[in-house]
Structure 1
Amino acid sequence: MTRLMVLGLLMMRSMSGYEIQSFLQQSRTDQWAGILPGSIYHALKKMEGEALVRVENVEQTGNRTKATYGITPEGRTEFLRLLKESFALSSVQLPTTLYTAVSFLHLLPKEETTTAIDAQIQLLKQELADMKAGQVEKEKAASIQEYILLTFENMYEHYEVQLRFLRKLRESVERMPIDPASDSLTKETPSKF
């Protein structure tokens, strides 16, 4: 993901690692794309070694050095390959960790389960708000193409679907009878060994 994003941004114009990082943070792209700030610099150095990008300019400001990178013809080829490959992968990522936890929620006391679900709901609400704020920032910087707006809409719908699921799950947990087995699992029992 990082390689595709960095090469894609360099397809638009030459940028420094800091400029790439700033763009991703201002538009909140780093959140949905899962790109860590340090991974940008690592990717740039690695791709420079692979001749996918090249340093076009180096500026010295005090103790800091700022390198501006441009994409090479090989980098353009790699970008197009990664772009095509991205459309071939499944575009649905299921929350498998959550689904696994749900499989065993009957083993957790009801109160702990509802507290955990509430925390997950709050987390998703905050992420959704951040995504919407990112769209606003992107719209301030430049006009947004229709396909980008469709992407935002799709992301929001994914969040809404997950929030609906969590709310229904919480209601289901509230209706569950208290299971003495789950309550005893959380209490310490003396070891027989």
Structure 2
Amino acid sequence: MSTTRLLLLGVVRIFQPAYGYQLRRELLTWNVQQWANINPGSIYTGLRTLAKHGFLEELAEGKGYKPGRTSYKLTADGETEYFTLLRQALWTVDGFQPGQMQAALSFLWSLKRDEVVAALESRIVQLEQHEKAAPFHERQIEQDPGTPDHVVEMFRIADARNRGELDWTRSFRTRVLAGEYSFAGETPDWIPGPEAAEQWRNLPEPPD
């Protein structure tokens, strides 16, 4: 749920005020239904839930919640929640929830470069620790007579993801340190073409 909330708050933050249909269409171009397991039909429900909890403000046009007729923008609480979820996804390694880092990558430009570097270094340490602990987790499962043998493969596939992510994180950190990409407070390294939404050319800065 936190990944879905981050994606919804993040995309609203880019395009606000924006209609539910516009937000749904944008997220589907990111293929969130595949890597974040978001049902396209649940996006409207998610937006209304965030509004109910005070993270989004609804700017209604017409009666009810007819798709495409209600636009949204972040509240002050929504802005805080966005950065809380973004940092949680960036700083926390969870081999069973790879979509969290995918979501964080979608919005890393919201943070300053030094924080991104620090978070990547933290992830490297966490992933190295997971790698060291993996053989002992396997041994525990294999020696437990109450656990089916095949369960060990669930841990092995998560460990394989962690090892792959460790290699990528090290190389990504090197690229960020070398000045690649742009982050908050820097000159954008990507300028959207004229066919892109105006909001992509005026991305919001993070709070001080």
Q: Is the pair's TM-score, using the shorter chain for normalization, greater than 0.5?
A: no
Short-chain TM bin: 0.3 to 0.5
Instruction: Looking at secondary structure, tell me which structure has more helix per residue.
Output: 1
Q: Which has the larger radius of gyration?
A: 1
TM-score by length of 1: 0.44
